[in-house]
């Protein structure tokens, strides 16, 4: 399936005058589709049929801080809905299944700037949930979530426990599918130990 994704993406790029691979933004992937940002559009690649279609206009790039356009680790998808945000954790854009956008511009307030975090959808609220990342000369070890009612990012309240993950960046954050747990896989940290499972029932409440 990855080969199909690459072949169709490369084919589209070659047919698009004045565009190169450097213009591509690899956005999230679901079991059925992969999303790609290219110039002024977001495209949906159907991983079953191989069809590549324009899904929505790409958000106004002035919403995002310089050199922090959304990437695969600063975006999440559920079905045909997308959440995109500034890769240093700032402005947020929600794109619904019809391609309509709702913008939540970054306002003054606490900063959660970090790069290369991992992200998924909160298992209950279905809003962006981010862990770790690197910023201010150190890796992070806490979760932040997006509150769409307030249009703000907030740190989660925590309950310390034996499953607390180590500070890290990169890696993967995956839903367990039981509306409660998420899995933290891999990543880079100053420690050699990698905690593979985060259980928000008995350690941190997300």
Q: What is the pTM of this model?
A: 0.76
pLDDT value of position 201: 35
DSSP string, the chain: -HHHHHHHHHHHHHHSTT--GGGEEEEEE-SSEEEEEETTEEEEEETTT--EEEEEEPPPGGGSPTT----GGGEEEETTEEEEE-TTT--EEEE-TTS-EEEE---SS-----BS-EEEE-TTT-SEEEE--EETTEE---EEEEETTTTEEEEPP----TTPPPP-BSSEEEE-SSSS-EEEE--B-SSS----EE-TTTS---
pLDDT beneath 70: ranges in the chain: 1-23, 107-113, 158-163, 190-206
pLDDT value of position 32: 85
pLDDT value of position 17: 40
pLDDT value of position 164: 73
């Amino acid at each position: 399936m990855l080969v199909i994704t690459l072949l169709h993406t490369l084919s589209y790029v070659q047919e698009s005058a004045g565009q190169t691979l450097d213009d591509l933004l690899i956005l999230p992937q679901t079991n059925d589709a992969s999303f790609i940002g290219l110039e002024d559009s977001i495209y949906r690649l159907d991983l079953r049929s191989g069809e590549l279609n324009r899904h929505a206009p790409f958000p106004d790039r002035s919403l995002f801080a310089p050199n922090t356009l959304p990437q695969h680790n600063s975006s999440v998808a559920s079905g045909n809905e997308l959440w995109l945000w500034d890769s240093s954790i700032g402005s947020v854009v929600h794109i619904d299944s019809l391609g309509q956008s709702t913008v939540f511009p970054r306002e003054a307030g606490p900063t959660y700037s970090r790069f290369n975090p991992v992200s998924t959808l909160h298992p209950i609220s279905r809003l962006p949930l981010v862990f770790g990342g690197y910023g201010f000369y150190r890796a992070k070890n806490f979760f932040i979530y997006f509150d769409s009612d307030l249009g703000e990012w907030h740190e989660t309240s925590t309950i310390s426990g034996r499953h607390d993950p180590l500070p890290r960046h990169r890696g993967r954050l995956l839903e367990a599918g039981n509306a409660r747990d998420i899995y933290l896989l891999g990543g880079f940290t100053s420690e050699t130990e990698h905690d593979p499972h985060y259980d928000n029932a008995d350690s941190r409440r997300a």
